[in-house]
Structure 1
Amino acid sequence: MSQAVERAPATPTPTTNFRTIALIIASAMFMEQLDATVLTTALPTMAREFGVTAPSMSVALTSYLLSLAVFIPASGKVADRFGARTVFRSAIVVFTLGSILCAQAHSLGMLVGARIFQGLGGAMMMPVGRLVLLRSVERRDMVSAMSWLLVPALIGPIIGPPVGGFIVTYLDWRWIFYINVPIGILGFVLVTLFIANTPGVRGERFDFPGLILSGTALGCLFFGFEMSSHDGERALTLGLLTIGTVFAAGYVAYARRVPAPILDLSLMRIPSFGLSVWGGSLTRVTQGAQPFLLPLMLQIGFGLTAAQSGTIVFATAIGSMAMKALAPRVLRRYGFRQSLIVNGIVASLGYAVCAAFRPGWPLPLMFAVLMCCGFFMSFQFTAYNTVAYDEIPHERMSAATSFYTTFQQLMLSVGICVAALVLQGSMEVRGHTTVQLADFSTAFLIVTGISLLATFWNLRFSPDAGTEISGHRMINPRSKPDA
């Protein structure tokens, strides 16, 4: 890996602080994460204006997911061809223009088309933004930079619903999309001023057959998981998941025969990357379920208003921000393997405590529990997202970021679907037609169990994994890998 770093085409200029780079990229990702969740609270209002039923507005969400599924795998190849900064900056422009088109939509069809266009920008923004960070920040600063980068990814889904509720209540729903415009303009300017362009490896032909196979597979799986939470859609869900699985199997067979597939499955044979994908995917199921379950439980089960529940849920964002200063010190002291094992268990059990929440609990106590959840889960993703690239050669970095982001987005969606399915199944087993607190408790415990399974993969990390990044070897010079 050290040789790969030496071959990097560019390093940050002396005047560019790694926090500046991380926060610029984080601002763009915050815009995207906020947009993805703030829209949900406006759907009933938009349905009335468009003259359609509220359930039919779900296509405004799924069309964006489809665009992500199709184009995220292509992001690495595009960044290699045109340069990471160029693509990242262009993605901000496309996302901002897509936001303006969404705000100008006067029918559901126009909104869906604008969301697909907006998703093209979002698909490039997530993985290419991470690639820009990896190519612009020195290895000794990587943990700190990644912890800054992950804060908006965790805050966006949490503050999205209350922000959306405020806009719909006091402004027009179109401002949900217009708020992206100043953020996008500022991001474009800052990327131009502070981030150097670092083109990757060129000369490989673009994998169009792989794009079709992977796009169809991921698109059907995204839609299938999303439709699984809708009543009366079991036949459609089964059909989509079946088609997605068939195309996924076809892509696996295809990718083994071509030299440069659009999603390089051979990356999974790299220990730190493969273990981070498996462990991180299981943990993201819980992280994806949490922003879905908590607001519903607090509003339906506790009878709180949207504003009150948003205030409580915001505690996880505070915990996430508190983590960023401590992550480098903890990883330097204990290393990635030990930190992932212990913190992964603690982070998962924190969400298990949420299963015990009841209206009689003091609000400050629930706030404190959620702060701890946000702290430990944010640390876990900082560790996963950093150690994943420890052994990736520079020439494969763009392929790794698109691969990793594809699974990240897929598993967050799976988390929402798992939570919805468990709620529905619990209601059927208990024989009631409205969701109750016991159903939420069951859902929290099941998603907690899923993230605890990541412990088996965390145990397989080498004790020396990521030592050059964390500095752990300097404190424990005699540490050796397991025999």
Structure 2
Amino acid sequence: MAISRVFLTPLIVACALFMENMDATVIATSLPAMALDMGENPIALKLAMTSYLVGLAVFIPISGWMADRFGARTVFRTAIGVFMFGSILCGISHTLAEFVASRFFQGMGGAMMVPVGRLVILRTVSKADLVKALSYLTIPALIGPVIGPPLGGFITTYFHWRWIFFINIPISIFGIYLANRFIPNLREEGTVPLDWIGFILSAVGCSCLMFGLASAGRHLVESDVSLIYVVIGSLSFAAYVWHAFHCEHPLLNLRLLSIPTLRMNIYGGSLFRIGIGALPFLLPLLFQLGFGLSPFQSGLLTCVSSIGAMFVKTITTYVLKRFGFRNVLIYNTLFGAASMAAFGALTAETPHIIVGALLLLGGCIRSMQFTSINAIAYADIKPYQMSQATSLTSVAQQLAIGMGVTVGGYVLQVSNRMQGHATIVSSDFWPTFITIAIIAAMALPFAWKLRPDAGEEMTGRRAS
């Protein structure tokens, strides 16, 4: 019985996490081929990436309430089914509008899968075995981004991009089977009522604002329609902020932003994530459209950064204990921004060994930064605030990454038009990398404001 709880439960959740992580990296490598098939500008495919992230941001906050209300097993297996059906819809899409809608639907399933799965682990595994169980869960999170780009590139180069979505079908069926067999249908009694008004306001705000910004440049809708969406989204967000401070149990508790360490995660972390979030969209376009590489070659290059990320995870705890959160976040923000700007200096003649080294270094920096930002968020959070803090940070993370794709795509489009190029060429990219590097560097003041002893209880370090 102990084996089934400590090993089988994380394995089941890992099926969902593997699909979600691999799917996010697979699609980026295949964007130019998708755009060609759909007769669209490759930059327009940023809508496909942002729509998925918006689906996550909208539905993640209610995943815990859904599990408590309807049962963890019911919600978890339904979420896998929704993700699988969304994958099928993506695979049979023929227009950009169909593909964007399918990705949003797929994001609805992804928003429920992993948070509910983590909840099952936390409630079924004893504290003594929790670290071991969560370590099993993190394995697919590390493997997915490594094999995703080359797998997507291989399928796109030698088969067809549609198959990258169909491979989710057998994994989903296996996950549903295991969930039916081994996951208990846990419920929580006495849950607070769902903040329906907050959910509607945040959903409209996220969806309209991100769609309006991502469609700027006459992608899918005209510019005036995009502006209308931006206005509606902004007003909905403003209404939610007012609502959140006047509601007893808000969907996203904005009062937590009074905690400095969490504020660093939300504000500073989001700025850095905007810069990093643009890279999975920009790099495959640079390598394929700018340098003329095949999707498979592009995937092999981009997966190098994930290898660097895996390596750094093994030394992050030591680095944080040695130097402290504040110092790591200050210097790593500068290094991260510099590595983003450096991509703008790459040309088709740059040796692949240098490109790979830059990607490896960037992956190391990104991993260190994300681990530090994610950890510092909970440094001063009380146990009863943990669920609310998790929802707030998860939504901010998805929106920031989506905003990175949006900003990167928009600046690339402006650069392309200002330089008068009929198609996307390598010289269009350097202004984009400089822009996202500047945005990432804007996280520096938030790191600077941290106390020298911030998060010391988490690392066991005592600040001098």
TM-score (norm. length: structure 2): 0.83
Question: Bigger shift: 395-404 or 204-213?
Answer: 395-404
1:167: Cα distance to partner?
2.7
Q: In structure 2, do the counterparts of structure 1 residues 391 and 150 end up closer, same or farther at CA, with 3 Å as the change threshold?
A: farther
Corresponding position of 1:408: 397
Corresponding position of 1:354: 343
Q: In structure 2, do the counterparts of structure 1 residues 199 and 282 end up closer, same or farther at CA, with 3 Å as the change threshold?
A: farther
Corresponding position of 1:181: 169
Q: For residue 419 of structure 2, what is the amino acid of its counterpart?
A: R
What root-mean-square deviation, in Å, do the aligned CA atoms of Structure 1 and Structure 2 show? 3.9
Helix, strand or coil for the counterpart of 1:223? helix
Question: Bigger shift: 463-472 or 235-244?
Answer: 463-472
1:394: Cα distance to partner?
2.9
Question: Bigger shift: 329-338 or 271-280?
Answer: 329-338
Pairs within 5 Å for 1:32-111: 32-39=20-27, 41=30, 54=40, 64-65=52-53, 67-81=55-69, 87-88=75-76, 90-100=78-88
Give per-residue Cα distances to partners, 1:238-269, cap 9 Å, x unaligned. Answer: 11111100111111111111101112111212
Corresponding position of 2:430: 441
Q: Distance in 2 between matches of 1:133 and 1:471?
A: 26
Q: 1:253 aligns with which of 237, 242, 246?
A: 242
Q: 1:239 aligns with which of 228, 235, 243?
A: 228
Q: In structure 2, do the counterparts of structure 1 residues 165 and 359 end up closer, same or farther at CA, with 3 Å as the change threshold?
A: closer
1:121: Cα distance to partner?
1.3
Q: For residue 389 of structure 2, what is the amino acid of its counterpart?
A: A
Q: In structure 2, do the counterparts of structure 1 residues 21 and 311 end up closer, same or farther at CA, with 3 Å as the change threshold?
A: same
Q: In structure 2, do the counterparts of structure 1 residues 386 and 148 end up closer, same or farther at CA, with 3 Å as the change threshold?
A: farther
Corresponding position of 1:456: 445
Q: 1:300 aligns with which of 277, 283, 289?
A: 289
1:128: Cα distance to partner?
4.0
- Native 8 Å contact 1:147 1:379 kept in 2: no
Helix, strand or coil for the counterpart of 1:314? helix
Corresponding position of 1:319: 308
- Native 8 Å contact 2:284 2:299 kept in 1: yes
Q: In structure 2, do the counterparts of structure 1 residues 444 and 270 end up closer, same or farther at CA, with 3 Å as the change threshold?
A: same
The count of residues paired between Structure 1 and Structure 2 equals 459
Q: In structure 2, do the counterparts of structure 1 residues 75 and 332 end up closer, same or farther at CA, with 3 Å as the change threshold?
A: same
The reply to whether residue 465 of structure 1 matches residue 450 of structure 2 is no
1:111: Cα distance to partner?
6.7
Question: Bigger shift: 306-315 or 394-403?
Answer: 394-403
Question: Bigger shift: 52-61 or 394-403?
Answer: 52-61
Q: Distance in 2 between matches of 1:151 and 1:451?
A: 27
Q: Distance in 2 between matches of 1:453 and 1:130?
A: 32
Corresponding position of 1:29: 17
Q: Distance in 1 between matches of 2:386 and 2:109?
A: 20
The reply to whether residue 424 of structure 1 matches residue 424 of structure 2 is no
The reply to whether residue 228 of structure 1 matches residue 228 of structure 2 is no
- Native 8 Å contact 2:14 2:137 kept in 1: yes
Q: In structure 2, do the counterparts of structure 1 residues 147 and 14 end up closer, same or farther at CA, with 3 Å as the change threshold?
A: closer
- Native 8 Å contact 1:154 1:378 kept in 2: no
Q: Distance in 1 between matches of 2:112 and 2:202?
A: 16
- Native 8 Å contact 2:47 2:211 kept in 1: no
Q: In structure 2, do the counterparts of structure 1 residues 376 and 17 end up closer, same or farther at CA, with 3 Å as the change threshold?
A: farther
Question: Bigger shift: 405-414 or 164-173?
Answer: 164-173
- Native 8 Å contact 1:279 1:454 kept in 2: yes
1:86: Cα distance to partner?
6.2
1:141: Cα distance to partner?
8.5
Give per-residue Cα distances to partners, 1:135-182, cap 9 Å, x unaligned. Answer: 7696998799689849737954x7645533433454455532331133
1:103: Cα distance to partner?
5.1
Question: Bigger shift: 83-92 or 213-222?
Answer: 83-92
Q: Distance in 1 between matches of 2:330 and 2:444?
A: 6
- Native 8 Å contact 1:139 1:469 kept in 2: no
Corresponding position of 1:4: none
Question: Bigger shift: 309-318 or 137-146?
Answer: 137-146
Q: Distance in 1 between matches of 2:101 and 2:419?
A: 41
Corresponding position of 1:9: none
Corresponding position of 2:196: 208
Question: Bigger shift: 341-350 or 316-325?
Answer: 341-350
Runs of at least 5 residues in structure 2 that lack an aligned partner in the other structure: none
1:316: Cα distance to partner?
0.5
Corresponding position of 1:164: 152
Corresponding position of 1:386: 375
Corresponding position of 1:262: 251
Q: Distance in 2 between matches of 1:429 and 1:143?
A: 54
- Native 8 Å contact 2:267 2:443 kept in 1: yes
